[in-house]
Amino acid sequence: MKKQLTIIIVLLFSLSPWPNVSAQETVIENPVTDEVVVANTESSQDGNNAKEEEIIEATPLAASAGKDKNGVVGRNIVFDASGSTGPTDEKLIYTWDFGDGEQFVGIDASHIYAEPGTYKARITVTDGEKVSKDTLLVSIAKDVVLLITDNSVSKDDLKKLKDYAQRHGTLLVSVKPTNENDPNYALSRNIAEQLVTSEEDLAQANLIITWTGKNIGLNALSEVGRIFTSSNGDVATSSASFSQKAIVRIDDKTAGSALARLAQSTFNIITPQYVLLTTTPALEIILANPSADTLTSSLQSNNIDYQIIGRHSQRVLDTISPFNFFSYGINYLINQGVSPDTLFLLLILPIVATIIAFGRQIVGVKAFGIYVPSIIALTFVVTQLKYGLVLFLLLLVVATVSRLLVRYLRILYMPRMAIVLTIVSLSIFIMFIAASYLGRSSIVTISIFPILVMIILTEKFVEAQIEQGNRTAIVLTIETLVLAIISYGIVTWGVFETFIMAYPEAVLLTLVLNFVFGRFTGLRLFEYIRFRKLFKKPSA
């Protein structure tokens, strides 16, 4: 009986509709309804693969050249066609036509336009059979000015300004808040976000004008500085660094102390070349000649009031006192058109001289006196160290070779030196030709001042060769260069530069230091090294 019952149960189980769960099936249990669902994995994968194939086949070939661009003559314009689409299993070829007769093959490209104008750039994308094209407009001008405005500036006034700027070869790019009804802090944030997203335009402009109600423009720039700092750690690391830009704040009224303090705060955050506060009549003058270097002289010649905010003005906003009278004087001179760079060179000259006096009196470095290394240090500040050293080494070699050749003429000293200096002058002429041919504009733009200083050093070197021999001349030249390079490193240190412009009264401390050096009568450091054997105790 039991055997028959067992056979019946086995037959019933074999006839029941049990789900056949194989390697190709997945059992999914619903924890809410306790429902069991069996999914066929193999068939699902086949379905997905079919869908993927459909998606690949359905992806259209579409070229995307990106947004319209603004630029300046002689500067790189970056093009990017990464927004283009096409079949992923086909090799796409990207060809750029920049609109000026030049072409390039590649998804990314950069190009320099030689003439101002509006160019239609085209990207052509092909997979070998199909072709897709897209275009964008590239506006190239001699200068780009970025204008930050709001609803306080009418559309007609803005159009007139753009037309006026265009007639003078200046491209005026305006940035306005997208929602004019937002509160001021939101407007500033909105403008800042636009500036960050249009970082390329921000990088192209050497001049930024804020013409807004209240202080929306300056607040927006401060916000940009904070955004760049939080993302990069330093505003200067962004491609849109403000260090070579000038900020102009336009207001219908003369700048007061409150606006000056706000402008100083903005300056401290983004550290531009300077912030200039002026009135609306200055707009056309600025757009006609948007150069940060000549802006103040242009405003002066047209009798337009302005105020410059920079490192020099950080303490001038307070009441004048014996501790900041120097700052007041520097602020006055800068606002009268004197270059801040000129004043900086004047301020650091006593410091450089003090460093060299320390090297002579305390360390024992002789060099070529105090005047020559001091002026050479200032020359390195003007030319940058690498170009100053190249110029110095070139003149030194030419002067040495010339002296060796000229001595066979058997003529008196002064005419001989005149011939040497003539050859040195011609070598500089040849150097300029070579630099121009090789595109080294930084060398070509070196002014006559550093060249004359280097010639003075060359003359000193030749004199030392004649009077004291080659070895002494070389040692004195090396010591002079070392002192000049050390001085250059100190005075071009960013912290030091900011400190001197903010606290120029510190220069007066050099008087005290030089008095102390002058009273020093002990052995110099090099003398301790030179006579170190004499200081050793005799052995017992």
The SS3 assignment for 278 reads: strand
Tokens of residue 419, six digits: 């011939």
C-alpha to C-alpha distances, 39 to 30, 42, 46, 464, 505, nearest whole angstrom: 13, 9, 13, 96, 84
For the chain, residues with pLDDT lower than 70 are 1-58, 89, 180-185, 230-240, 253-258, 315-323, 334-337, 339-341, 439-447, 494, 498, 535-540
For residue 269, the tally of other CB atoms under 10 A from its CB is 19
Residue type, 76: N
pLDDT in tens, 241-282: 788 899 999 987 655 566 777 788 788 888 898 999 998 899
Segment (H or E) for 78: strand 76-80
End-to-end alpha carbon distance in the chain: 124
Q: How far apart are CA 310 and CA 55, in angstroms?
A: 58
Q: 502: how many CB neighbours lie within 10 A of its CB?
A: 19
Identify the three-state secondary structure at position 308.
Answer: strand
pLDDT of residue 32: 37
pLDDT value for 103: 92
Domain 69-140 has CATH 2.60.40.10: yes
Phi first, then psi, for residue 241 (nearest 5°) are -55, 140
pLDDT of residue 22: 39
Q: How far apart (Å, rounded) are the C-alpha atoms in residues 136 and 148? A: 24
Beta bridge partners of 248: 209, 276
Q: Does domain 143-309 bear CATH number 3.40.50? A: yes
Q: Is 402 exposed, middle or buried (0-12, 13-18, 19+ CB in 10 A)?
A: buried
CA distances for 401 relative to 50, 269, 396, 405, 462, angstroms: 81, 52, 9, 6, 10
* Pairwise CA distance, residues 164 & 288, whole Å: 8
Q: Whole-prediction pTM value?
A: 0.53
Tokens of 534: 């004499």
Concatenate the DSSP letters of all residues of 130-197 into one string: -EEEEEEEEEEESEEEEEEE-TTS-HHHHHHHHHHHHHTTEEEEEE--S-TTS-HHHHHHHHHHHHHH
The DSSP line for 88-133 is TTS--EEEEE-SSS-EEESSEEEEE-SS-EEEEEEEEEE-SS-EEE
Please state the φ and ψ torsions of residue 155, each to the nearest 5 degrees: -65, -35
